[in-house]
Structure 1
C-alpha cells in the first residue's frame, strides 16, 4: 500500500501500528501517520471511518490497544504532559459558557493553562474576534464559536494544533472564515495543523498533505499534489473516419482507443497532443474537437473509500 514516497525525515508527529479495538472489533487498524513540521495535514475519510478515534489517541484521550504515538520526537505514552503542553486541540464542537463573554471564556482557559494574560488579546487578534470579545458567547454565530474554540486552542502557543471537523455545521460564510484562518496559521504562527474532515472540497483547499482513512485503515498518505496527479486524464478526439484514424495512430506506435464517441489517447504534454493532431491532419482526417477528460478528486476519493481499494 503506497502511503507516500518521501525519503526518511524526522516527523513532528508519527504513529506506528496504531490500533484501537472496541468490543473486540478494530475501529482503527495499524495506522501509520506521518506529519511534518509546518504541514496542514488533511485527515480525510467518511463519517465513521475512524478519524475521531485516531485523534483521541493522538491527544491521550483514548488508550491504543496497541501501537505507538510519537510527537516532537517523544513517545506520548511516556511523555504525555510534556507533549500536551505544546498541543492545542478542538475536538468536535467547542465547549464554552454561553453567559460569559468571549474574553471571559478565554480567561477560564488561560488560568487552566497558566498562560500569560496578554495571550488573550493575541489569540482574539489571530481569530479576528476583538470587536466581539465582550459579547456573551450565546449570541455568537456558529462560525464565531468555532473561531473562539480555535483561539482557546492557541492560548498555549502550541507547536501542533489538532482540529476535528472544524467547519462542520457552518454556513458558507463561516466555512470561508475558518478556512482562511487555518491556512494562515502555519506561515504566520509557525503552527503545524492536523485537520480532520469528511469533506474532500475543504481538505483540497487547505491541506498541504493528506491521509485518507476508511474502515479504520489508512489507504493513502502523501502530498496533496500527488493526490491531484491521480486525476490525470485522457484526451478525446472527435475525427472523421475514426476507425481509420485509430488504425493510423496504432501504426505510428501510439497508444489509442476507439469507442462510439471517437478516439482517446493518454493525456500527455502539449507537444505530444499537437503531434497527434498534426499526424491526423496530414492523413486528411478532419479533427472536429479535442477535449481533455479528467477524473475528479471526488471520484478518486470515492474509489478509495467506497470500495476499500488501496492505491
Structure 2
C-alpha cells in the first residue's frame, strides 16, 4: 500500500446503549487510494464515517487525517475533506450553479470559477441552468459529488453513492469515481454493501461486519482468495484420494469427488495420468472458481446484500 497515510484510525469504537456498533476498527488509507469500505447494511459503515467527519463522537480510539488528530485540529482537517453522506441536500427550485453558489459562500477562499470546474468534472455543464428538481437521481448524485468537490478537497468520503440508482446511473457514478484520483488528485473512501460495484473501482478494500473490521488489503489480494480448484469425478473416490495423498498431491475427498487446489496444467495432467495408471476411471475434470461474492458472504456470515 502507499506509505503516506491520508487517514488512519486506531481502536475506533462507538457504543450505543452499551453495545459496540463499531468495535476497535483500524483503518489505513494511503494517498491516491480508492478505498472500498464494504459491509452488509447495519455493519457500522455509516457510524464509522460519521465519526471520521466529526459528526459523531467516538467512545474510544483515535482518528488521524493528514497526520493530524481530529480531536485537536478538527476544523483544519475538515476544510480539506469533502463528503457525501446518504442522500445529497439541494434546493429543488434552484439550478445547479445556484445550489453550488449557496455552498461556496460558506467555504472560505473558494473562487466562483470553481463552480464551473466541478460541474465539468461531474459532467453537468450542459444541465447547469436547469432546476435541480427536474434532475434524475443519478444527476442529483453527481451534483452531490460536485458539492463535495467544491472546496478542492484532498480526501473525499462517499457513503453509498450508488444507492437507489438504475444500472446506467450506477455506471455513471462508477466511472466518475474512478477518474477522480487522476483528474482531481483526491483520495477516496467509498462505502457500499455492493461488492460487485466496489471491486470495479477500489484499489484497496476494508470489510466490516457487526462492527468489526475483518479484512483490509488490496483488491488483488482479495481476488487471490477467489482462486479456483480442480474437481475430479473418478471411480472409487476414497481409494483414489488415498493414492494421490501417498504420492504427495494435496487432494481432498468429499465422498463423491476429489478436489485439488488451483495448480498448473502439467500437475493436473500428472494427477490424471497417475489415476489412470492405477486403474481408476476418470469421468470428469472440472475447474471451479470461488466468486468474490461467495468470499464476501463467507467473511460476513452470509448476511446482507451483494
Q: Distance in 2 between matches of 1:287 and 1:155?
A: 64
Aligned equivalents of 1:275, 1:106: Cα separation in 2: 66
- Write the distance in 1 (CA, Å) between the matches of 2:75 and 2:277: 73
- The answer to whether the 8 Å contact 2:34/2:190 transfers is yes
Three-state SS of the structure 2 residue aligned to 1:12 is: strand
User: Hey, what's the Cα distance between the residues in 1 that align with 2:10 and 2:47?
Assistant: 15
Q: Structure 1 residues 259, 70: CA separation in 2 closer, same or farther (over 3 Å shift)?
A: closer
Distance in 2, matches of 1:21 and 1:257, equals 44
Structure 2 CA distance for aligned equivalents of residues 141 and 307 of structure 1: 33
Matched, 1:32 2:20: no
How far apart are 1:184 and its partner, in Å? 0.9
Say if 2:25 is the partner of 1:12. no
1:85-141 CA distance string (max 9 Å, x none): 111000000000000001111111111113111111110111111111110000000
Q: Give TM-score, length-normalised by structure 2.
A: 0.92
Partner residue, 1:280: 275
Paired residue secondary structure (1:264): strand
**How large is the RMSD of aligned CA atoms in angstroms?**
1.9
1: distance between equivalents of 2:3 and 2:127? 43
Q: Which moved more, 1:45-54 or 1:253-262?
A: 253-262
Unaligned runs of 5+ in 2: none
Counterpart in the other structure of 2:43 = 49
Matched residue, 1:291: 286
Cα deviation digits, residues 37-64 of structure 1 (max 9, x gap): 1111111111111111110110111111
Alignment of 1:1-311 (within 5 A): 9-114=3-108, 115-240=110-235, 242-243=237-238, 245-283=240-278, 285=280, 287-306=282-301
Report how far residue 142 of structure 1 moved.
0.4
Mean Cα displacement is larger for which, 143-152 or 251-260?
251-260
> Would the alpha carbon gap of residues 244 and 307 (structure 1) be closer, same or farther in structure 2, given more than 3 Å must change?
closer
Farther-moved stretch of structure 1 (250-259 vs 30-39): 250-259
TM-score (norm 1): 0.91
Distance 2:184 2:270 in 1: 49
